[in-house]
Structure 1
Amino acid sequence: MTQLVRYETARSALAEARSVDEVKDIRDKSEAMRAYARMAKDTQLEIDATELRLRAERRLGIMLSEQKQTIGMNRGGWQTCGSGEEPQDRIPTLAEVGIDKKLSSRAQRIGGIGEQAFEAMVESVRDRIASGERIGLNITTADKKERRAARERDLASRQAALPNKRYGVIYADPEWRFEVYNRDTGMDRAADNHYPTSSTEDICNRPVADIAADDCVLFLWATVPMLPDALRVMDAWDFQYKSHCVWAKDRVGTGYWFRNQHEILLVGTRGNVPAPAMGTQVESLVDASVGRHSEKPAKFYELIERYFPTLPKIELNARAARPGWDAWGYEAPVNEMA
């Protein structure tokens, strides 16, 4: 009960703090309490003290950011009014209130995290300490992974709240029309034999941007000869190319210069989409067996779901229903069409 009272009192003091030095004092006392709790092996006290430090640093970061945008920051030296004397209302420097550049940078990074994402991060930290994990509070790889996951969840919650549905993930496999050298002799293995194809111009003109959220990632399939067309489509749909991975097939196909045994999955973004956290990226070469004509392996759905587990998703030119996804296309299941 004593610990609970101490925790609630500190939370109240933090909520009432109005100056940077007040918040900094609460942050320092929380860190001292956290260090003591570790030595005393008091898990609950460590959990509470860690949360207080995080909340104090977030509050500190928000205050510093607001000060930058309003009265500005004192970077050092005198701020004079022409008299040569120090003004009575001079803004103190960060160093004068005990804030070094490292703490200032960390606090402003935490302060920039959305409310829901921050609460998710706090909950994760509490759970990790409760499970016996000994964690530091520097922005380590593990912290970056959690912060990235929290950003993804926060983005998903905002997209799901939109009045007209918008997608954070668009996965597309357009029905590319590849013009062979000779349509009399070169059509025996063309895509047109399997499904209707469309011109690149028609694909470009689809209003995909209208269903994309402001912050959205596009995964766009391209065959080797259609790579320039795919980049053109990505630009027309209002996405900027970022990277790609390669599907290494277990069967050799056709080709004029080489016998193609791979396809390319382009990645483009619009807005502010979180890239995978360091250490969580998958390899760019993905081995998978070939299925029906133009069918894509399940591995790539799983890759996308691993990167963006909560964002609203739609597959364009879908052939089958997949839980958690909407679908559109000539062969898409009727009851799943968006």
Structure 2
Amino acid sequence: MTHTGLAIVNPAAELGLVGYDQLCRALAVAATVDEVAKIQDKSKAMQAYAKQARNRGLEADASEVRMRAERKLGEMMDSFRQAGHMSKGGRRPQAETGVSGTLVGWGVSLAEIGINKNLAKAARKASGLDDIAFAQALVNNRERILFRDDRPVFSTAKKQALRADRERVLAGRIKALPKKRYGVIYADPEWRFEPYSRSSGMDRSADNHYPTSCVEAIVARDVPSIAAEDCVLFLWSTAPMLLQALKVMAAWGFAYKSHIIWDKQRPGTGYWARNQHELLLIGTRGHMPAPAPGEQPASILSVPRGEHSAKPAEVRKLIERMFPNVPKVELNRRGSPIPGWDAWGNEFDLASESHKLEDSA
């Protein structure tokens, strides 16, 4: 088998469709295994160069030529083998040579025509596909290249370390702001739930335990003024007040992301169902980092209920594990101060007016 002296553009010298078109034309007229193998080699080199140059279009084109060359090579190898022109491998005894120097009675091996085992395997695989399957393989390969995620792949431990670094950097940036801002806002609004009848349905209302506010008053609070550019909101909601809570979250400038269910372990009141749970909605603004893989909390927290409206201390600890460094504030705080937290609430005596969130209602 002879070389044709085919000149194929060097992908490093000329990056673009000229090289791709030339490879396609060369493959269309290639008549020998040697020629097709050279085209496969050139297209593979172009594919590697295009990937390095981050030209996905050219990379996909070069990869398609490579696959077509491998299929054509496999078909040629099959026809040669069936005609007895290819050896079946193994050691060949000394053979008689003809006047032209070619072997008499023996076919040539893949190694003798410059085809290694990997190329031969790829060629056999490609030629084993029917036309429909091969066309689909071309489409799948192009989509894989064009929509490939080139972001570096890190281990879970590495992702956790990177996320921890990001949280520390974010904390430093928030603390450096000239006015007090928070990266975590934890809120338990005093929702006013309207019963079907205020004359008969107020016996177990929250108004019997603490003052409540209408949704409009909660929406109007200037929470955005204390939220850092990158901030996460943890917002408590009961099942009947879910739509109102989502309205408040949006009005405060946060986008809903997920929620955690607090299973109180015993049922309470309710019209359609006796509510045994409350929802802790999670929303963000800016680019607040989610927990690293393996560090996300479970979506259900099962803790016995305490006194009316009191929330489990486990939730605050959960938030602290997520965001150990960023400044945190608890709205509607009940009870004594918590180290590491600022607070505002009807039942919390502020030590400093500078941390007070005025109710604009």
| Percentage of matched positions with identical amino acids | 58
Cα distance per residue 1:277-319 (max 9 Å; x no partner): 1111111110111111100010100110010010100000001
Distance 2:252 2:12 in 1: 48
| TM-score, with structure 2 as normaliser | 0.57
Superposition deviation, residue 99 in structure 1: 6.1
Distance 1:253 1:197 in 2: 19
Distance 1:279 1:251 in 2: 30
The within-5 A match list for 1:1-338 is 78=14, 139-320=154-335, 321-335=337-351, 338=355
Partner of 1:9: none
Distance 1:140 1:273 in 2: 21
| TM-score, with structure 1 as normaliser | 0.61
Distance 2:352 2:263 in 1: 30
Cα distance per residue 1:159-204 (max 9 Å; x no partner): 0011001100000000000000010110011011111111101101
Distance 1:298 1:171 in 2: 12
* Alpha carbons of structure 1 residues 299 and 336: separation in structure 2 relative to 1, 3 Å: farther
Cα distance per residue 1:248-282 (max 9 Å; x no partner): 00222100011110000000000001101111111
* Alpha carbons of structure 1 residues 149 and 195: separation in structure 2 relative to 1, 3 Å: same
Distance 1:274 1:314 in 2: 18
Distance 2:287 2:293 in 1: 17
Distance 2:268 2:226 in 1: 34
Distance 1:219 1:141 in 2: 25
Cα distance per residue 1:12-44 (max 9 Å; x no partner): xxxxxxxxxxxxxxxxxxxxxxxxxxxxxxxxx
**Partner SS for 1:281:** coil
Is the contact made by 1:148 and 1:276 (CA closer than 8 Å) also made in structure 2? yes
Superposition deviation, residue 237 in structure 1: 0.1
Superposition deviation, residue 332 in structure 1: 1.3
CA RMSD, Structure 1 to Structure 2 (Å): 2.6
Distance 2:47 2:318 in 1: 44
Is the contact made by 1:319 and 1:333 (CA closer than 8 Å) also made in structure 2? no
Distance 1:173 1:76 in 2: 62
Is the contact made by 1:245 and 1:264 (CA closer than 8 Å) also made in structure 2? yes
Distance 2:163 2:47 in 1: 28
**Partner SS for 2:233:** strand
Is the contact made by 1:215 and 1:272 (CA closer than 8 Å) also made in structure 2? yes
Superposition deviation, residue 333 in structure 1: 2.6
Is the contact made by 1:159 and 1:168 (CA closer than 8 Å) also made in structure 2? yes
Structure 1 alignment gaps of length 5 or more: 1-74, 81-92, 102-107, 111-137
Instruction: Provide runs of 4+ in structure 1 moved above 4 Å.
Output: 93-96, 98-101
Tell me how many residue pairs correspond in the alignment. 220
**Partner SS for 1:265:** strand
* Alpha carbons of structure 1 residues 77 and 180: separation in structure 2 relative to 1, 3 Å: farther
* Alpha carbons of structure 1 residues 270 and 332: separation in structure 2 relative to 1, 3 Å: same
**Partner SS for 2:266:** coil
Distance 2:52 2:14 in 1: 18
For 1:146, the aligned partner's letter is A
Distance 1:332 1:170 in 2: 16
For 2:156, the aligned partner's letter is T
Cα distance per residue 1:203-228 (max 9 Å; x no partner): 01111011000000000000010000
